[in-house]
Structure 1
């Protein structure tokens, strides 16, 4: 099975994942930086309003990405991501929240779930880990934004647990993608972060590798895989793309690689 395919459609490039496509149940993409109309540090498919880009350009970029899924911008739902572990259950009354500005996005939310058709869940990234979830039995979906804080707080597992609570999801049925994000090749952390990782993932020394005095490389991909498996997902139902955003800045925005001033990619997912 191919882990992912890079698609170019109407001038924009995005990734799709065979594990989801094969079900026929959802539309989904993970955008790249290729396409769109943004300029400067945000060139050119910046999907986020909060980074200082021209709001009209962001809205147009989002329209183009939504169009690739056969959706309208009015179908999109976004959260105000704060590197937390709060999960929000999205229903039809939330359609369009955060689609045209940050102000009306779902407050303080890093995870979104739904089982309603035609609602386009969205989440935004430039090194943090996108976790995309599909329960093909109950026909429910979830997105989680997992930076190091969210990863240590096990937002991936909490998203699965929320799907179980609200929709009756059996974690053993779930399919998951751990998408493009900063890899263990590039993600260096200090002692305070290491301490939090060791608290959250006790007995998992394979997650870190010391590179210099007081410096370690952290494997967020593996940490999120571990969290998903411990939440009840089957190993063979989890796809880790292995694409590092910092190593592939021609294709992706990278907060660390671009020293902070950059756009954001988006994970988008909708039940047909």
Structure 2
């Protein structure tokens, strides 16, 4: 499949043109350039929770709002606790978390909506962003999946959630797995692999490489793709980006590359 993202204006990776039956989708992933934050958050840090000057973060968010034509009071942000809880959001939630941590949607790592005009936004710095959309009814969604959320099945939990609430079959969903840390750079210990191995071996066997001394390389993107396929999403309807956060410190923040002190990119999706 073709690469699902393309550059725009130096600070955005825009997802290639997407549509539901009645709406255009604006979706993408921010890069670290083009903002106002100073080191170690230089420069387009969009995370309010990392210790950056809040004024810089809000100016950066405003710049993204201007570029995407979604005002901040239409944004909806989640707390992100490395879990699998998901919230269905509506216009009543517009503005949640856009300008303060106190107003984020609490205790969730995934958001979905059937309403146009809302901008679902989550923060990332190595974890996997997963984007979903479908038609009839038109729905968009985004999920944050670190290793804990991945192993707990966050990717397929979203599939189950929209099936339950909207009667959408997994076969009707389209999914993009966005920029995250790559398999060659994500080394984990036995504790993590013990949790991964609780999944069916067919899901994780090709996603794990033993490098000795109780250490392993873990391919989070592949593991999430396998989980989605097992959950009924057709493989032909799942795209995986080639962009890797650790590999491109000029483009992306990476929690591991930057040894924990770094900014956050934002994965986002909205319908117009």
Alignment TM-score, normalising by the size of structure 2 = 0.95
For the 8 Å contact 1:189–1:218, the answer to whether it is kept is yes
Q: Which one is further off, 132-141 or 175-184? A: 132-141
Partner of 2:192: 193
| Offset at residue 150 of structure 1 (A) | 0.3
1:209 lines up with 2:204 in the alignment: no
Q: Which one is further off, 94-103 or 58-67? A: 58-67
Q: How many residues of Structure 1 are paired with residues of Structure 2 in the alignment?
A: 270
Alignment of 1:242-257 (within 5 A): 242-257=242-257
Partner of 2:51: 52
Name the SS for the 1:262 alignment partner.
coil
| Offset at residue 17 of structure 1 (A) | 2.3
Partner of 2:166: 167
For the 8 Å contact 2:82–2:148, the answer to whether it is kept is yes
Superposed CA RMSD: 1.5
For the 8 Å contact 1:2–1:18, the answer to whether it is kept is no
For the 8 Å contact 1:134–1:140, the answer to whether it is kept is yes
1:107-136 superposed Cα distances (whole Å, 9 cap, x missing partner): 111000100111110111000000011113
| Offset at residue 54 of structure 1 (A) | 0.7
For the 8 Å contact 1:25–1:136, the answer to whether it is kept is no
5+ residue gaps in structure 2?
none
1:227-266 superposed Cα distances (whole Å, 9 cap, x missing partner): 1111211111111102211111110000000000000011
Name the SS for the 1:143 alignment partner.
strand
Name the SS for the 2:11 alignment partner.
strand
For the 8 Å contact 2:20–2:133, the answer to whether it is kept is no
Alignment of 1:113-192 (within 5 A): 113-192=112-191
Name the SS for the 2:198 alignment partner.
helix
Partner of 1:13: 11
Partner of 2:269: 269
Greater than 4 Å deviation, 4+ residue runs: 21-24
For the 8 Å contact 2:46–2:57, the answer to whether it is kept is yes
Alignment of 1:83-94 (within 5 A): 83-94=82-93
Name the SS for the 1:162 alignment partner.
helix
For the 8 Å contact 2:245–2:252, the answer to whether it is kept is yes
1:192-231 superposed Cα distances (whole Å, 9 cap, x missing partner): 1000000024343211001121100001011110111112
Distance 1:63 1:136 in 2: 30
Name the SS for the 2:130 alignment partner.
strand
Partner of 2:26: 27
Name the SS for the 1:200 alignment partner.
coil
1:237 lines up with 2:209 in the alignment: no
Alignment TM-score, normalising by the size of structure 1 = 0.95
Name the SS for the 1:28 alignment partner.
strand
| Offset at residue 188 of structure 1 (A) | 0.4
1:11-38 superposed Cα distances (whole Å, 9 cap, x missing partner): x421122263698621112101111111
Name the SS for the 1:7 alignment partner.
strand
Name the SS for the 1:49 alignment partner.
coil
